[in-house]
Amino acid sequence: MMPRDTPEITAVKTFFDLISRDRFDEAVDMLAADVLYHNIPLPEMTGRENVRAFHKGFGIGTSIRADWKITRIAQAGNAVLTERMDLFTQADGRRIVLPTMGSMVLDGNVITEWRDYFDLASFERQAAAMKA
C-alpha cells in the first residue's frame, strides 16, 4: 500500500501541476515573498518577483509552454525532493527536454527554498537548435 501524500508533497505536486496547466503565475504565488531560488549552476536569487521575472524572461507562461512532469518524489522533514522531466515547448512544436532534480523547503504550504539541478550545456544546445 502506497503511503498518502503529506501536505508538503501535495503542495509541491500542486505547484508543478499549475505550471503544467499554463497557470504559471498561480504557481509562483505559492513561493514565499523572500524565497531563495537557485537554478544550479546559475547564480542564486531571492524573492518571488525575481523568480517570476527570471522564468518569464525565458518565455515561460507567455511564448513557451512548460510541462514539468514529476517522475519521483520523496520527503525528508519539510524538504521535498523531485526528479522531473522538464519540457519546454514553443508554439511551432519545437521542444527542449531537460532531466531535472529539485529540492523545495516548505513552511506549511509556502515554498521558502527552491533549488533545481540540471545540465546547463544540454539546455543551451537544445535552445540553440530551437532558434536555428
Mean pLDDT calculated for residue range 47-51: 97
Say how many domains are in the chain.
1
**What DSSP string describes 12-30?**
HHHHHHHHHTT-HHHHHTT
CB atoms within 10 A of CB 37: 20
Could you tell me the pLDDT band of residue 3, with boundaries at 50, 70 and 90?
low
Q: What is the pLDDT of residue 84?
A: 97
Q: What is the pLDDT of residue 62?
A: 75
CATH of the domain at 59: 3.10.450.50
Q: Is residue 93 part of a domain?
A: yes
Q: Is residue 78 part of a domain?
A: yes
Q: What's the pLDDT tens digit per position in 81-96?
A: 999 999 999 888 899 9
pTM comes to: 0.91
Q: What is the pLDDT of residue 70?
A: 96
- Please determine, for residue 2, whether its predicted confidence score (pLDDT) is greater than 60: no
Sort residue 104 into left (φ over 0), alpha (ψ -120 to 50) or beta.
Answer: beta
Determine the structural domain holding residue 108 and report its residue range: 7-131
Q: Is residue 80 part of a domain?
A: yes
Mean pLDDT calculated for residue range 52-60: 87
| Residue owning grid cell 540553440 | 128
Could you tell me the pLDDT band of residue 129, with boundaries at 50, 70 and 90?
confident
Could you tell me the pLDDT band of residue 18, with boundaries at 50, 70 and 90?
very high
Q: Is residue 1 part of a domain?
A: no
Q: Does residue 71 contact residue 86 with C-beta atoms inside 8 Å? A: no
- Please determine, for residue 43, whether its predicted confidence score (pLDDT) is greater than 70: yes
Q: Is residue 2 part of a domain?
A: no
Mean pLDDT calculated for residue range 58-68: 83
